[in-house]
Amino acid sequence: MADLWIASNNPKKRAELARILAPLGVRLHPPGELDAPFDPVEDQPDFAGNARIKATALADLAGQIALADDSGLCVDALDGRPGVHSARYGGPGLDDRGRLERLLGEIVGVPRARRSARFVCSLCVAAPGGRVLAAIEEACEGLLREQPTGDGGFGYDPIFVPIEHADDPACSFATLDADVKDRLSHRGKALRRLAAELPALLSLNG
């Protein structure tokens, strides 16, 4: 079984990555398994840049190949916000629910036709020494609900309706079965593309 370091300590995101990558038989390792702190500064203006920062930093710390995922929600009515700041939107005092409610407060009164948004996922696979082995980006188009629904997923999932389910008034990413979400989601699309390359890349670990 090949080893792959994952640049995330978020258990829900790691579970999603593990589920989608399971057919490859890889063993995932989070930064918490290291004896060194992992807190790279994500100061790039786009998802790809932040994914590269995290992947290269973790690969150097672990001494093996690492995968980083930088993702977020881009809302058209907010000129693309929260974007790369999705995980930190509103400041450090807010949790997932607080960030979600802040975003909803900013689009109160925006008609449904203008509540378009997309989740974006940028993946980067890096080897020690700052070598980028693969970079992939995918998006999932959708609409934002006026109120959250569903207990699944994480982050902004309870207010995001993928465009394929736009006519379902009870739907959000947080209500969908994991298999359905993985098929439609930005992360699922990106990881499926990566899966074709990953076994060969992991062989470089030696």
Return phi, psi of residue 71, to 5°.
Answer: -145, 165
Rounded CA separation 156/86 (Å): 9
- pLDDT reported for residue 35: 87
Q: What's the burial of 68, exposed, middle or buried (CB within 10 Å: 0-12/13-18/19+)?
A: buried
- pLDDT reported for residue 31: 94
pLDDT of 157-200, one tens digit each? 999 999 999 999 999 999 999 999 999 999 999 999 998 888 88
Give the global pTM.
Answer: 0.93
Residue type present at position 45: P
pLDDT bucket at 15, cuts 50 / 70 / 90: confident
Rounded CA separation 49/27 (Å): 26
Domains in the chain, CATH or no CATH each = 3-205 (3.90.950.10)
pLDDT of 112-170, one tens digit each? 999 999 999 999 999 999 999 999 999 999 999 999 999 988 899 999 999 999 999 99
- pLDDT reported for residue 9: 82
Q: Is 167 a catalytic residue?
A: no
- pLDDT reported for residue 206: 58
Which carries the bigger pLDDT value, residue 26 or residue 80?
Answer: 80
Rounded CA separation 56/71 (Å): 17
Q: Is the pLDDT of residue 16 over 90?
A: no
Q: Is residue 92 reached through a cis peptide bond, with omega within 30 degrees of 0 on the bond before it?
A: no
Candidates 7, 115, 130; CA nearest to 70 is 7
pLDDT of 51-104, one tens digit each? 999 999 999 999 999 999 999 999 999 999 999 999 999 998 899 999 999 999
Catalytic residue among 3, 46, 70, 79: 70
Q: How does the average pLDDT of the chain come out, rounded?
A: 93
